């Protein structure tokens, strides 16, 4: 959510007006991420997030936007992409409706506008936050079963195989050994029939603490939104659960799993979409896969950054610690419902 593409107040005002969202009152660039340009935009009709996409193409983006629309229509609390205004135009002797598109163009780049979710992120989650996440994550997976579009997880195994060699020159000998060994292990896991038969569908793939919104405090906190779907793709649902575990259920300073939060997250998920015995057995491997994915991407962003006016790459050593802990201390069996 760094600002790579500068959008002026006047440009944003014209853009939002064309979508029928009313006069622009305030515009603020968002810091905190590294993939797209995001602005908070307030109009007399509501609060919006204006996104200009920096890496994803016009061909790739319909999957993400229509997935959010699909989930929103099924009661999952996600941003709802705003469509262009329908207008009537004459074609020959007939009149037809045009518009209604949710993928737009701004500064000659793909763009979208979604409603801004209420609430705030919980950056120090407790067990009840993890339980709420597990419940919504499972419902989101089930809601996506009839989504007809398909796009692979663009940060999946194929990307790891391409990117690890690129970041190797920046690593110590010990780091090279760790990352190459884990990459070999994940290729081995992926070659097995048990992995290939895992239940699959659309996943968020990046559902960290700062991508979830809550309202209320303590045990009364209510999960009211999931956002930033622009890493979503079709992959094993279990991988999505592992991504969440590696952020929501660990001590950030050490990368150590916290058993109570793990149990809360997995039990709540299992209560909505029961995990099979095969999924339970592969969850430790998926935790390692999720740690490798984010270590690799953070190494890439840290050592090969792009220019931006508000860019704060994440520390890659965090997921190096998480991966080491996942290898040295596999998930205890009593953390996973039988």
Give me the tens of pLDDT residue by residue for the chain, a chain 338 residues long: 467 899 999 999 999 999 999 999 999 998 755 678 999 999 999 999 999 998 889 998 999 999 999 999 999 999 999 998 744 334 454 433 334 799 999 999 999 999 999 999 999 999 999 999 999 999 999 999 999 999 999 999 999 999 999 999 999 999 999 999 999 999 999 999 999 999 999 999 999 999 999 999 878 899 999 999 989 999 999 999 999 999 999 999 999 999 999 999 999 999 999 999 999 999 999 999 999 999 999 999 999 887 654 556 789 999 999 999 999 999 876 677 77
The reply to whether the predicted model has a pTM over 0.95 is no
CATH topology assigned to domain 9-115: Phosphorylase Kinase; domain 1 (3.30.200)
Q: Are strands 87-91 and 46-53 parallel, antiparallel or unpaired?
A: unpaired
Going from N- to C-terminal start, the domains of the chain cover 9-115, 127-335
Residue 162, C-beta contacts closer than 8 angstroms, at least 6 positions apart: none
- Taking alpha carbons only, the member of 110, 131, 144, 154 closest to residue 212 is 131
Report d(CA 71, CA 142) in Å as an integer. 10
As a CATH number, domain 127-335 is 3.90.1200.10
Q: Are strands 212-215 and 94-98 parallel, antiparallel or unpaired?
A: unpaired
- Taking alpha carbons only, the member of 107, 102, 100, 120 closest to residue 36 is 107
- Taking alpha carbons only, the member of 51, 61, 57, 53 closest to residue 30 is 51
Q: Where are the beta strands (DSSP E) in the chain?
A: 24-29, 36-43, 46-53, 87-91, 94-98, 104-106, 109-115, 200-203, 212-215, 222-226, 233-236
């Amino acid at each position: 959510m760094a600002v790579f593409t500068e959008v002026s107040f006047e440009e944003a005002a014209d853009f939002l007006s064309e979508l029928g969202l009313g006069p622009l009152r305030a515009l603020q660039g968002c810091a905190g991420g590294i993939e797209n340009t995001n602005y908070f935009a307030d109009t007399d009709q509501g609060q919006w997030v204006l996104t200009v996409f920096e890496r994803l193409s016009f061909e790739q983006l319909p999957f993400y936007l229509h997935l959010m629309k699909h989930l929103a229509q099924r009661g999952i609390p996600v941003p709802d992409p705003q469509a262009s205004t329908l207008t009537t135009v004459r074609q020959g002797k007939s009149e037809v409706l045009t518009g209604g598109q949710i993928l737009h163009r701004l500064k000659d780049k793909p763009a979208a506008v979604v409603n801004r979710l209420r609430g705030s992120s919980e950056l120090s989650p407790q067990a009840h936050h993890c339980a709420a996440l597990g419940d919504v994550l499972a419902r989101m997976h089930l809601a996506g079963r009839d989504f007809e579009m398909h796009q692979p997880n663009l940060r999946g195994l194929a990307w790891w195989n391409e990117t690890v060699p690129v970041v190797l020159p920046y690593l110590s000998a010990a780091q090279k050994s760790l990352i190459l060994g884990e990459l070999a292990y994940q290729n081995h896991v992926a070659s097995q029939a048990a992995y290939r038969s895992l239940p699959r569908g659309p996943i968020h793939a990046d559902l960290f603490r700062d991508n979830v919104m809550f309202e209320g405090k303590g045990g009364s906190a209510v999960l009211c939104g999931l956002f930033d779907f622009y890493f979503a793709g079709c992959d094993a649902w279990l991988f999505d659960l592992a991504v969440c575990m590696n952020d929501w259920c660990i001590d950030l300073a050490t990368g150590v799993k916290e058993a109570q939060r793990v149990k809360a997250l997995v039990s709540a998920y299992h209560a909505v979409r029961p995990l099979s015995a095969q999924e339970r057995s592969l969850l430790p491997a998926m935790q390692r896969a999720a740690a490798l994915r984010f270590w690799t991407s953070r190494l890439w962003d840290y050592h090969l950054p792009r220019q931006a006016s508000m860019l704060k790459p994440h520390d890659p050593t965090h997921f190096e610690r998480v991966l080491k802990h996942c290898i040295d201390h596999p998930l205890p069996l009593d953390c996973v419902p039988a």
